[in-house]
Amino acid sequence: TNRTTDADKAKVDQKEAELLYRTVDVFIAQDNPSGNGVIRTQLTGDVADVVANEIVIEISKGIIGQAKRNINQVESTFAVDMNEAVLAAERVVLNVNIFLPDLELRLGSQQRAEMQNALQDLKEAIRTNDASKALVAGSAINEIIAAYEGELN
């Protein structure tokens, strides 16, 4: 029947999600160990108990920790090791891009655009060795992340 087919497909999709999540769970667990547990439980339990929004929230919380750590690394290495600052800035961009679509859903397109501008400003500040611009960009990124975190809780 159609209902059996849908349930079977959902179970296959859940297993695929579990296998995919295993490739990134260490990054989530580092900054959101309890959320990692929530995700694992949902991906290995009854498919009827899966709540996609909870999974998105817990993944975002884990990635936010990575982004914040990399912003701090940009600030601490800017004047000392520009190569490390460049790498940290690239990691910030990669981290934020993971949750950027959800940020837009929760905060709106204006906040997404402001985040994208701040990320671009951060990269430009590092490229031009402009410490004050990097600090302003990092602060803007942190403010938007804080607003996003407020929507996740």
Tokens coding 73: 């690394």
Crossing angle of helices 52-77 and 33-44, rounded to 10°: 150
C-alpha distances in angstroms, 50 versus 19, 85, 93, 103?
Answer: 15, 39, 29, 21
- Among 30, 131, 125, residue whose Cα is nearest residue 76: 131
Tokens coding 100: 């950027």
pLDDT values of the chain reduced to their tens digit, one per residue, 153 residues: 555 678 888 888 888 888 888 888 898 999 999 999 999 999 998 998 889 999 999 999 999 999 999 999 999 998 899 999 999 999 999 999 999 999 999 999 999 999 999 999 999 999 999 999 999 999 999 999 999 999 998
